[in-house]
Amino acid sequence: MSEQFEPVIIGFTCNWCSYRAADMAGTARIKYPPNVRLVRLMCSGRLDPTFVLKALSNGADGVLITGCHPGECHYLEQNYKALRRYHLLRRTLIGFGIEPERVKLVWASAAEGVQLAKQIAGFVDEIRALGPLAWSMPSKQQLVAEPSVMEEVPA
Amino acid sequence: MNPSQDEKERIGVYVCHCGSNIAGVVDVEDVAVWAGDKLADEGVVVSRDYKFMCSSLGQEMIEQDIAEQGLTRVVVAACSPHLHEKTFRGACARAGLNPYLSELVSIREQVSWVHTDKQKATAKAKAMIAGGVERVIEQEALEPLKVPIHPATLVVGGGIAGIQAALEIAESGSLVYLVEREPSIGGHMAQFDKTFPTLDCAACILTPKMVDAGSHPNIELYTWSEVERVDGSVGNFTVTIKKKPRYVNEELCTGCGICVEKCTRNVIDGEFEAGLGYRKAIYTPFPQAVPKYPVLDTENCTYFEKGKCKACQLLCPTGAIDFEQTEQYITVTVGNIILATGFDLFDARRVPQYGYGRLKNVFTSLEFERLSNAAGPTNGEIVLRDGVTKPESVGIIHCVGSRDRNYNNYCSVICCMQSLKFAHLVKERTGATVYNFYIDMRTAYKDYDEFYQHVMEEGTIFVRGRVAEVTDAARRSGEEDKLIIQVEDTLAGRQRRIPVDMVVLSAGLEPRRDAKQVAHTFGISCSANGWFIEKHPKLDPIATMTEGVYIAGCVQGPKDIPSSVAQGAAAAARVISRINKGEIELEPIRATVDAHKCSGCRICNDLCPFNAIVWHEDEMVTEINHALCQGCGTCVAACPAGAISGTGFSNEQVMSQIEGLLMFEQPVDLLAMAV
Ligand SMILES: Cc1cc2nc3c(=O)[nH]c(=O)nc-3n(C[C@H](O)[C@H](O)[C@H](O)COP(=O)(O)OP(=O)(O)OC[C@H]3O[C@@H](n4cnc5c(N)ncnc54)[C@H](O)[C@@H]3O)c2cc1C
Ligand code: SF4
Ligand code: SF4
Ligand code: FES
């Protein structure tokens, strides 16, 4: 069997929901692929887009951003700010010639260990399909521009 | 990575086996040797593995190394920081190292428990430790924030759990604000006749507690009220209470009840009497209500409808009726909050095949409680909907809406016992034939199974199987004018049709319909089902993830009265200990603006949900109020000038951790790329 490509993924979690979902996946012994390495922040609102660029430039093939469900952020509504930055970030990536699909935003409550594990597994497959991140390569056909209208983001 | 640093940190790395929990999947010895070798350039001077790092021997190992090897940073690779961060910080502190100069890397929850490939798991553990090492280098020595605890407490919900909590705290000498949204405290228990398993009368044991709560000098009772808004955090919450208009002046009202008596409007009582009885447009929900002041229901009041009547006002001997009353907002300060808002009953209409709402003599459990209640609409006579006919046969269906994929997967805990209680009451009062339809009989806890045996001896017939349908379509003789219960008797192994006169549906317990909204107001979370999430399911069932907010009773999940009372008392004990201590230590995670770096762009100004960011117009700089900042870091991420730093999660710390996590991957020169 030929060696399949094993992407390296950095995942950002918030202390209150998604990090606890990861804890919960652990306690419940739910299995997911080992390609994701998590960083804990207090809130998805703490996610500075440069963290994502840093991860990609240091060799990550994809970045998973996670936080509490809309309306459930421990700091009330900071995950909406994360959502806005995420949209902006995806456009920035296109500017760099990187597939925007390499960054993904996922909501997971503290109770959703199973869901988080599923999302991680799905994302690993998606990045595996994209192949290693090649900064020097010209933009591929996957790089369809993001639609210019952003999703409606409730305040 | 900071090789140019003159004085490198001296870092100790400790890899835990956690018995076989970690060592079974991760090659911990290899990891420890690897860290000592490959991370030596980063400053790792000691790297060890040990069976149980959290044991006293494991902790002493760290303490000894700090003392003897002069460690300036500690990385422990073990379980989740939510479990043992405090433990290892404590070890550092005991050895004289600032506890915030340590880092716990979760290779159990995030590696050994979730991965199976040993080689890959070991490689991931190494990368995570490298991340931890890089991050810990950037950690700063911090002091915990000490916050004073305001001695008053807010209790929301005046059911048995909330009453118990309020009384315990009031008895200890501290002030309690008890907020209840109905006209009276008491909760569901006030509606019951008897309580299992002892069959003591609910009113007899509940009323004295209600009276105590209503008259206690340390309890300020707000009924017909709701919490509108909560600001601040543990130690110092500012709570806005909305007091709905009763249209009765509480200062003047003596609770004589003349207004109720004289009111000409009869209204079906859909709340307390579960639709089986009547009340007036001005009413107290039940005779023992606390407080005793009536409430005027504007939707059914003739004056509010037609502009005239005012009979109650005319006849009130103290002139207490006030048609001009409006909502009142009261603001109070409290140090801690206990939420005890209870449950809602599952709506039996959602199971159409059981016919509730369509078939006259199908009752819900709450209706049955009122029917059997001596103070209820039938004075405790168990009769059919016509109000006179005694049933000759009664079918009680367990688990309605519970343990059912279509509705709620969980067990509602109390329904088996409550169904047995009903079986006993029917037998005792009517002598009718009683059938209980159950899936499994769940009678755990003290004296419960004995009660079950007693009910069996009384002659109740138990049929094991989930009822398929309740119908009034007679097929054979003996079924005319009856309700027929169609069930697969799984013990007898056959389908049965059992005709009865009355059916009682033991509907399950559900989270309050507004649970999500209430959780949001108080900044806590609900599980997927909607029950409030406790801090730890076993070791801390009454705390939440939010400091200073506690839960008690059925808000946390279905439970019986004894457990609700126990939780109410436990939450109170926690609050009392906090009040006694006078202050609490919090994580010093806060944002700070460097005034010299702030460009005055004001981008951050509107980002803070806690209004912690203040703008100084005169100096054109922004400042953060540490008493209000909760440390989410949103403003830190947003500041284009990099003027805001966040302790505990600084840019340097996160960036270094990312570097460490990817230390052995191929980096790319981003700046070179961008040109
Ligand atoms: C039919 C039936 C029979 C039962 N029989 C028994 C029995 O015999 N023995 C036994 O041990 N257990 C029995 N139980 C279980 C028992 O009812 C519960 O254990 C108990 O009532 C839980 O108390 P609580 O205080 O948590 O909740 P609740 O009794 O629901 O009280 C919650 C209170 O909070 C108030 N509230 C809700 N939301 C708000 C808000 N947003 N703001 C302000 N106030 C609010 C409500 O109005 C209510 O007064 C029975 C349950 C049912 C349904
Ligand atoms: S975003 Fe930064 S620079 Fe702008 S006002 Fe806030 S602290 Fe100052
Ligand atoms: S980190 Fe910034 S945005 Fe978050 S609470 Fe503190 S001041 Fe407000
Ligand atoms: S705390 Fe989880 S996203 Fe804000």
Q: Is B595 exposed, middle or buried (0-12, 13-18, 19+ CB in 10 A)?
A: middle
Task: Report the percent of chain A where pLDDT is more than 70.
Answer: 86
The preferred substitution site among A23, A46, A75 for testing ligand 4, maximizing ligand atoms within 8 Å of CB, is A75
| Ligand 4 pocket test target in A38, A40, A79 with most atoms within 8 Å of CB | A79
Query: Any CB–CB contact under 8 A between A22 and chain B?
Result: yes
Q: How far is CA B472 from the centre of its chain?
A: 41
Question: Which ranges constitute the DSSP H helices of B431-514?
Answer: 448-457
pLDDT-derived band of residue A148, with 50, 70 and 90 as boundaries? very low
How confident is residue B303, by pLDDT bands cut at 50, 70 and 90?
very high
Distance CA(B160)–CA(B180), nearest Å, equals 12
* pLDDT attached to residue A144: 45
Confidence check: pLDDT of B523 > 90: no
Q: Is residue B2 part of a domain?
A: no
Which amino acid is present at B540?
D
Cite the beta strand spans of B192-315 per DSSP E. 194-195, 200-201, 219-222, 225-233, 236-243, 266-269, 277-280, 282-283, 295-296
> Given an 8 Å threshold on Cβ–Cβ distance, is B113 in contact with A43?
no
Query: CA nearest B637: which of A89, A16, A22?
Result: A89
Helix (H, G, I), strand (E, B) or coil at B654: helix
- Is the pLDDT at B188 greater than 70, yes or no? yes
The residue in chain B having the minimum alpha-carbon distance to the alpha carbon of residue A93 is: B674
Q: Which of B629, B639, B647 to mutate to test the pocket of ligand 3 (most atoms within 8 A of CB)?
A: B629
Chain A contact probe: residue of B18, B539, B658 with most A CBs at under 10 A: B658
Q: Are residues B424 and B375 in the same domain?
A: yes
Chain A, nearest residue to B532 by Cα? A111
Cβ–Cβ gap A59/B108 under 8 Å: no
Share of chain B above pLDDT 90, in %: 90
The CATH number of the domain where B625 resides is what?
A: 3.30.70.20
CB pairs under 8 A between A and B: 162
Please name the residue ranges forming H helices in B582-650.
634-638
Ligand 4 within 6 A of CB of A11: no
Mean pLDDT across the stretch B46-74? 97
The distance of A93 to chain B (nearest Cα, Å) reads 11
Residues in a beta bridge with B507: B400
**Which ligand lies nearest the alpha carbon of B633?**
3
CB atoms within 10 A of CB B178: 29
Q: What mean pLDDT do residues B239-257 have?
A: 96
Q: Are strands B461-464 and B433-438 parallel, antiparallel or unpaired?
A: parallel
Asked if residue B652 belongs to a domain, the reply is: no
**Ligand 1 binding pocket includes B421 (Cβ within 6 Å):** yes
Ligand nearest to the Cα of B631, by number: 3
What separation in Å is there between the alpha carbon of B140 and the centre of ligand 3? 19
B contacts of A72 (beta carbons < 8 Å): 520, 525
Instruction: Give the number of the atom of ligand 2 that is nearest the alpha carbon of residue B635.
Output: 1
Q: Choose between B359 and B1: higher pLDDT.
A: B359
For residue B673, pLDDT beyond 90: no
Any B CB within 8 A of A98 CB: no
**Contact assignment for B546 to A74 by CB distance below 8 Å:** yes
- A88-102 mean pLDDT: 92
Binning pLDDT at 50, 70 and 90, where does residue B672 land?
low
Residue B559, ligand 1, Cβ within 6 A: yes
Residues B587-608 pLDDT 10s: 899 999 999 999 999 999 999 8
Measured between CB atoms, which of A38, A48, A77 is closest to B637?
A48
B328 & B348 share domain: no
- B63 by Cβ neighbours in 10 Å (0-12 / 13-18 / 19+) ranks as buried
User: At B98, which CATH number?
Assistant: 3.40.50.920
Domain end (from B535, B560, B581): B581
The CATH architecture that domain A9-143 belongs to is 3-Layer(aba) Sandwich (3.40)
Provide, as residue numbers in chain B, all residues whose Cβ is less than 8 Å from the Cβ of A29. Answer: 113-114
The CA R_g of chain A, rounded to the nearest whole Å, is 15
Rounded mean pLDDT of B559-574? 98
Each residue's pLDDT tens digit, B258-297: 999 999 999 999 999 999 999 999 999 999 999 999 999 9
Cα–Cα distance, A13 to A46 (Å, whole number): 10
Q: Are residues B91 and B237 in the same domain?
A: no
Mean of the per-residue pLDDT values of chain B: 94
**How many other C-beta atoms are found inside a 10 Å radius of the C-beta of residue B666?**
10
Q: Does A9 touch chain B (CB under 8 A)?
A: no
Res. A147 pLDDT band, cuts 50 70 90: very low
Please name the residue of chain A whose CA is at the shortest distance from the CA of residue B80. Answer: A23
Name the residue of chain A whose CA is nearest to B118's CA: A34
Work out the percent of chain B whose per-residue pLDDT is above 70.
98
Contact between A46 and B80 using a beta-carbon 8 Å cutoff:
no
Residue B423 lies in a domain: yes
Ligand nearest to the CA of B612: 3
**Rounded Cα–Cα distance for residues B624 and A78 (Å):** 17
Q: What phi and psi, each to the nearest 5 degrees, are found at residue A25?
A: -60, -40
Looking at residues B76-104, what average pLDDT do you find? 96
Where residue B638 falls among pLDDT bands split at 50, 70, 90?
A: very high
**Does A85 lie at the interface with B, CB-CB under 8 angstroms?**
yes
pLDDT higher than 80, residue B669: no
Q: Are B234 and B336 in contact (CB under 8 A)?
A: yes
Q: With respect to residue B656, please indicate whether it lies within any of the assigned structural domains.
A: no
Residues of B in contact with A6 (CB under 8 A): 120
Considering only CB atoms, A78 lies closest to which of B634, B655, B673, namely B634
Residue B668's pLDDT is what? 64
Q: What is the pLDDT of residues B324-367, one digit of tens each?
A: 999 999 999 999 999 999 999 999 999 999 999 999 999 999 99
Cis amide linkage into residue B151, ω under 30° from 0:
no
What pLDDT score was predicted for residue A3? 77
Residues 6 or more apart from B451 whose CB is under 8 A from it?
B196, B197, B417, B420, B421, B443
In tens, the pLDDT along B643-660 reads 999 998 999 999 999 999
B531 with B510: CB under 8 angstroms? Answer: no
State the distance from the centre of ligand 3 to the C-alpha of B644, rounded, in angstroms. Answer: 10
Chain A CB contacts of B670 under 8 Å are 53, 57, 135
Judged by CB atoms closer than 8 Å, whether chains meet at A41 and B659 is answered as no
In short, whether A46's Cβ falls inside 6 Å of ligand 4 is no
Q: Are B45 and B130 part of one and the same domain?
A: yes
Same domain, B158 and B136: no
Task: Report the complex ipTM.
Answer: 0.89
Whether the predicted pLDDT of B502 surpasses 50: yes
A80 touches chain B (CB under 8 A): no
Q: Which of B115, B525, B104, B230 is nearest to A107 (CA)?
A: B525
The predicted-structure confidence for A16-64, as pLDDT tens digits, reads as follows 999 999 999 999 999 999 999 999 999 999 999 999 999 999 999 999 9
* Residue from the list A23, A45, A117 with its beta carbon closest to the beta carbon of B633: A45
In single-letter form, the type of residue at position B675 comes to V
Are B124 and B260 part of one and the same domain?
A: no
In a domain, B297, yes or no: yes
Task: Tell how many helices (H) and how many strands (E) occur in chain B.
Answer: 17, 34
Distance in Å, alpha carbon of A107 to nearest chain B alpha carbon:
13
Residues 121-150 on A with a CB inside 8 Å of B are: 135-136
Is B80 within 8 Å of A25 when comparing Cβ atoms? Answer: no
Query: At A37, which helix (H) or strand (E)?
Result: strand A36-41
Domain that holds residue B183: 153-188+195-342+514-581
Name, in order, each residue with C-beta under 8 angstroms of B158's C-beta and a sequence gap of 6 or more.
B166, B178, B179, B180, B182, B184, B185, B186, B187, B213, B221, B223, B340
Q: Is residue B4 part of a domain?
A: no
Cβ atoms of A154 and A80 within 8 Å: the answer is yes
Q: Give ligand 3 pocket residues (Cβ under 6 A).
A: B 591, 607-608, 610, 612-613, 624, 629-636
Average pLDDT, integer, range B304-316: 94
Residues of B in contact with A56 (CB under 8 A): 668
Strand positions, DSSP E, B307-403: 328-334, 336-339, 343-345, 362-364, 393-400
Peptide bond into B667 cis (omega under 30): no
Tokens encoding A62: 């994809």
Alpha carbon distances (Å) from B494 to B354, B459, B487, B497: 20, 22, 9, 10
Contact (Cβ atoms closer than 8 angstroms) between residue B483 and residue B499: yes
Which candidate from B115, B649, B658 shows the least CB-CB separation from A55?
A: B658
In total, how many domains does chain B have? 4
Ligand 1 binding pocket includes B180 (Cβ within 6 Å): yes
> Ligand 3, closest atom to CA B624?
7
Within this chain, do residues B608 and B554 fall inside the same structural domain, yes or no? no
Chain A residues whose beta carbon lies within 8 Å of the beta carbon of residue B131: 37, 39
Nearest CA to ligand 2 atom 8: B598
**B482 domain residue, yes or no:** yes
B108 → closest Cβ in A26, A53, A76: A26
**Cβ proximity of B183 and B223 under 8 Å:** yes
Are both B211 and B336 inside the same structural domain? yes
Question: Quick one: B462 and B530 in the same domain?
Answer: no
State whether B380 and B240 are in the same domain: no
CATH number, domain containing residue B249:
3.50.50.60
- Does residue B307 belong to any structural domain of this protein? yes
From the CA of B644, give the closest atom in ligand 3.
Answer: 2
Q: Which of residues 27-56 of A touch B (CB under 8 A)?
A: 27, 29-34, 37-43, 45-51, 53-56
CA dihedral for A68, A70, A74, A79, sign (positive or negative): positive
Nearest ligand 4 atom to alpha carbon A14: 2
Write out pLDDT tens, residues B411-421. Answer: 999 999 999 99
Assign A153 a pLDDT band (cuts: 50, 70, 90): very low
pLDDT at A152 > cutoff 80: no
B174 and B224 in a common domain? yes
Residue B537 pLDDT grade (very low, low, confident, very high; cuts 50, 70, 90): confident
Pairing, β B277-280 against β B266-269: antiparallel
Contact B82 A25 (CB under 8 A): no
Residues in chain A closer than 8 A to B667 (CB atoms): 57-59
- Same domain membership, residue B618 and residue B487: no
pLDDT bucket at B586, cuts 50 / 70 / 90: confident
